[in-house]
Structure 1
Amino acid sequence: MAASPEAPAGAAACSGCHPAGKGVDTPVPPLAGRAPADIAAALRDFKAGGRAPTVMGRIAKGFTDSEIDALAAWFGAQKVTP
């Protein structure tokens, strides 16, 4: 079995607010198993100010495009826990 890729920089910070499990009762959506294109688009939208201002806008501004792509790919590849 192949080892899962190491988490990219910033992933631990994301995991602090975004739950890993399905059906978790929180307004912050889980990222694990989501389509990488959707995650990347959301981050870029936050970064550009296209979404309502939240802490995500400030966080997203700190990521480069390659970091956004790495985070999106990594979270998309994670298994959703029950």
Structure 2
Amino acid sequence: MRGLRALALLALALLGLGAAPAAAGPVPAPPGASSCSGCHGAHGEGAFAPLAGRPASDIAAALAAYRSGERPATVMTRIAKGFTEAESRAIAAYLEQQAAP
């Protein structure tokens, strides 16, 4: 009976391990995010206007303002016009997730 109980406990433990979520790996950059790397760094960590960890809502709002011309800029206005609103939100979400743990 003891061996059966130990086997049942082992089976439950193994089932619990199988149900554990896999460790999240690095989030892949969405299409278009590489155009940000020249000034903002590959993961938004650049010394010039770092974006890593900033709220996605702030980044998306800034891109929308550049795109509409509400926020004039020489380079960002041109870059932002190349993105749809959905692409801008995806890039913003990616940059927000790049904060150091």
TM-score, length-scaled by structure 1: 0.83
Which structure has greater helix proportion?
2
Moved over 3 A (4+): none
Q: Which runs of 5+ in 1 are unaligned?
A: none
Identity fraction in percent: 51
CA-atom RMSD, angstroms?
1.7
**Separation in 1, partners of 2:80, 2:59:** 11
**Which residue in the other structure is 2:37 paired with?**
15
One-letter amino acid matched to 2:92: A
Q: Highest relative contact order (Cα 8 Å, sep 6+), 1 or 2?
A: 1
TM superposition shift of 1:52:
2.1
Q: Distance in 2 between matches of 1:46 and 1:73?
A: 17
Indicate the residue corresponding to 2:96 in structure 1: 76
**Max radius of gyration: which structure?**
2
The 1-side partners of 2:91 and 2:27 are apart by 11
Number of equivalenced pairs: 76
TM-score by structure 2 length? 0.68
For 1:2, the aligned partner's letter is: A
1:47 paired with 2:73, answer: no
Separation in structure 2 between the aligned mates of residue 16 and residue 53 of structure 1, nearest angstrom: 16
